[in-house]
Amino acid sequence: MSIAHPREIFRGAVRYAAARIIVAHNHPSGNPTPSDADFTFTKRMATCGELMGIELLDHIVIGSNTYISLKEMGAI
């Protein structure tokens, strides 16, 4: 498992003066069901984004031929 740090993700958003971002990652297992770590990371990203004035629009988890939107699940 690899964990990204918000500063690495927001670095590009700040560089290009983005007002909003969408985060996506895959689950190599093929099962896109978000883990507890995915929910925690999403909350952390949303909080960091609020502080920086960069809205987190969605966090998408990609699996085999399907995906899950954490926004649609109500996590954002």
pTM here is: 0.90
Domains, the chain, in order of start with CATH, read: 6-69 (3.40.140.10)
Concatenate the DSSP letters of all residues of 28-74 into one string.
TTS--PPPHHHHHHHHHHHHHHHHHT-EEEEEEEEETTEEEETTTTT
Could you report the per-residue pLDDT of 15-43, keeping only the tens digit for each?
Answer: 999 999 999 999 999 999 999 999 999 99
pLDDT at residue 1 is higher than 80:
no
pLDDT at residue 3, rounded to an integer: 76
Q: What is the mean pLDDT of the chain?
A: 95
For tokens 């960091």, name the residue.
48
